A and B are shown apart, each in its own frame.
Chain A
């Protein structure tokens, strides 16, 4: 026996170690399993429904045949317009909160409010949008009202993501700039923003994918059950993929079984593509950083 030989205590420790490791592995597997099942099911059932016609044609025969083109286009419109409102506003607010705001009670209340706002259920945003944009502002149920509602919903997350990536830029860089006589804006413009942009982009793109799947906020504010034509302005209603999925899955009789799966696959494909893009961005831009 050497002085480094395994004792009984060690043996017990290793056994415990093994059991815990197995448990954690099992939990991870349980997490991944549903995702795999959903994806497999969607691809197997929905795959055959996807075709060029499906992507480019209007729904016909009471939405039981044809394509989803207006819904796909509508989702792209809604999300893009929402971003036009929320991204500049969100980034500007985050820059103020992270770089300019003094650390006082008011700032803390604002920060807390933003975090809480991010947790507000989307149906509440929907009702707010209905009251504020559709009725009060008089936009009616329209792309504009729906996009603004989505924008309000995404704003807190854009602010939080932007703030986090601004704050991940080391403070020493700011101090170096200030000590050379740079103003705050010169510091932000030349050093902080260029190094935070990867995080901001990632946050924004992830938010896009979440927004694309939202149904409640647009249901009352601008998305239509069915439209035989494309919207002509932001004051028109539009179809949207998420609502279309809900409609063909639950509201319309005699829909072929594969159709809702096809719509779901398309929606998930859209979201996953955005996410992959975001991860790609993150990796590319992160590799350039040196700290």
Chain B
């Protein structure tokens, strides 16, 4: 099956969402009154923000507006800096991820993250895909399902045909586009519900960007995707809902087509018209 058959981008805006949970409008991420400080610098101010299950939601805003910080508090990767302080609540699939009993490694493995620069590990493609999966299960020695897992993950990111014969090559030999797809593929074996993407296309050329956008659109439904982007055209093309942030505050959150056509807020209007950025 060709890529085009798998992901038809021409009808994405008006395609009806067929999954039940989409119709129900259930929330995958629910942030309530989130405040976050880096040392004494406050990066988020009372952010309340909901992401619906199965949709692609994009976060836009000028540099330093807190969009990446918000994204990074959804898998608590922010906390690798010792000086981060978080206040408020973030629920993912109905579970408070800042609750005391929550295990940090569980949070991070079940909430996948894709970075700005593709960062495959310096090991083979096969090991990259099994890495996250293997972390959760130290008992298995030889798993007969491994091949199946790899094939499934690579098929989901449309890489299987390209890579099936070189699974034991280093992942660093791949093109940037393939690397970024692999970085998405390696999240899938642990069956995450939510994928966070921090400007996943900003290191890629336009053609690769298009391919990743198509892929993200194809993953929609099964996964809830929250994506930070600098690229307003991308937010407009490839997201169901869009949220605009400014100076650490959530300014506006709407369906993408509405936000870009009839924003409520004057600041949103100014930003999407390119008056500042």
Which A residues are within 8 Å of any B CB, using their own CB?
A: 102-103, 172-173, 175-183, 186, 190-191, 195, 289-291
Interface residue B175 (Cβ < 8 Å from any Cβ of A): no
**Per-residue interface assignment for chain B, residues 128 to 148, with 1 indicating a CB less than 8 Å from any chain A CB and 0 otherwise:** 000110011000000000000
In contact, B115 and A172 (Cβ under 8 angstroms)? yes
Partner-binding segment picked from B40-48, B106-114, B239-247, B256-264: B106-114
Contacts of A177 on B, CB cut-off 8 Å? 121, 131
In contact, B122 and A191 (Cβ under 8 angstroms)? yes
Question: What is the interface size of chain B, counting residues whose CB is below 8 A from a CB of the partner?
Answer: 31
Question: A178 to B115, alpha carbons, bound, how many Å?
Answer: 12
In contact, A172 and B117 (Cβ under 8 angstroms)? yes
Of chain A, the residue at the smallest CB distance from B173 is A290
Contact of A181 among B80, B105, B115, B117 (CB under 8 A): B105
In contact, A181 and B120 (Cβ under 8 angstroms)? no
Most B-side CB within 10 Å, residue of A172, A176, A178: A176
In contact, A181 and B122 (Cβ under 8 angstroms)? no
In contact, A178 and B119 (Cβ under 8 angstroms)? no
Q: 10 additional contacts, CB 8 Å, given A173-B119, A181-B104, A182-B131? A: A172-B117, A175-B80, A176-B119, A176-B120, A177-B131, A178-B77, A181-B107, A191-B122, A195-B122, A290-B122
Contacts of B80 on A, CB cut-off 8 Å? 175, 178
In contact, B75 and A182 (Cβ under 8 angstroms)? no
Interface residue B170 (Cβ < 8 Å from any Cβ of A): yes
In contact, B82 and A181 (Cβ under 8 angstroms)? no
Interface residue B23 (Cβ < 8 Å from any Cβ of A): no
A179 with B77: in contact, given A102-B82, A172-B117 (CB under 8 Å)?
Answer: yes
Contacts of A289 on B, CB cut-off 8 Å? 122
Interface residue B102 (Cβ < 8 Å from any Cβ of A): no
Interface residue B172 (Cβ < 8 Å from any Cβ of A): yes
CB < 8 Å A-B pair total:
67
In contact, B75 and A179 (Cβ under 8 angstroms)? yes
**Per-residue interface assignment for chain B, residues 175 to 190, with 1 indicating a CB less than 8 Å from any chain A CB and 0 otherwise:** 0000000010011001
Contact of B136 among A172, A181, A290 (CB under 8 A): A181
Question: A195 to B135, alpha carbons, bound, how many Å?
Answer: 19
In contact, A179 and B186 (Cβ under 8 angstroms)? no
Contacts of A182 on B, CB cut-off 8 Å? 105, 131-132, 135
In contact, A181 and B109 (Cβ under 8 angstroms)? yes
In contact, A179 and B113 (Cβ under 8 angstroms)? yes
Interface residue B17 (Cβ < 8 Å from any Cβ of A): no
Interface residue B123 (Cβ < 8 Å from any Cβ of A): yes
Contact of B172 among A102, A175, A186, A290 (CB under 8 A): A290
Question: A182 to B138, alpha carbons, bound, how many Å?
Answer: 12
Contact of A291 among B104, B105, B172 (CB under 8 A): B172
**Per-residue interface assignment for chain B, residues 87 to 113, with 1 indicating a CB less than 8 Å from any chain A CB and 0 otherwise:** 000000000000000001111111011
Of chain B, the residue at the smallest CB distance from A173 is B121
Contacts of B170 on A, CB cut-off 8 Å? 290
Contacts of B115 on A, CB cut-off 8 Å? 172, 175-176, 179
Most B-side CB within 10 Å, residue of A172, A175, A181, A183: A181
What distance in Å separates the Cβ of B93 from its nearest Cβ neighbour in chain A?
16
In contact, A180 and B173 (Cβ under 8 angstroms)? no
Contacts of A103 on B, CB cut-off 8 Å? 82
In contact, B187 and A180 (Cβ under 8 angstroms)? yes
In contact, A181 and B108 (Cβ under 8 angstroms)? yes
What distance in Å separates the Cβ of A154 from its nearest Cβ neighbour in chain B?
29
What distance in Å separates the Cβ of A183 from its nearest Cβ neighbour in chain B?
6
Of chain B, the residue at the smallest CB distance from A102 is B82
Question: A183 to B134, alpha carbons, bound, how many Å?
Answer: 12
Contacts of B186 on A, CB cut-off 8 Å? 180
In contact, B135 and A186 (Cβ under 8 angstroms)? yes
Of chain A, the residue at the smallest CB distance from B172 is A290
What distance in Å separates the Cβ of B184 from its nearest Cβ neighbour in chain A?
12
Question: A176 to B119, alpha carbons, bound, how many Å?
Answer: 6
Question: A289 to B107, alpha carbons, bound, how many Å?
Answer: 31
Contacts of B132 on A, CB cut-off 8 Å? 180-182
What distance in Å separates the Cβ of B25 from its nearest Cβ neighbour in chain A?
28
Contacts of A179 on B, CB cut-off 8 Å? 75, 77, 108, 112-113, 115
Question: A266 to B117, alpha carbons, bound, how many Å?
Answer: 52
Contacts of A173 on B, CB cut-off 8 Å? 119, 121-122
**Per-residue interface assignment for chain B, residues 59 to 96, with 1 indicating a CB less than 8 Å from any chain A CB and 0 otherwise:** 00000000000000001010010100000000000000
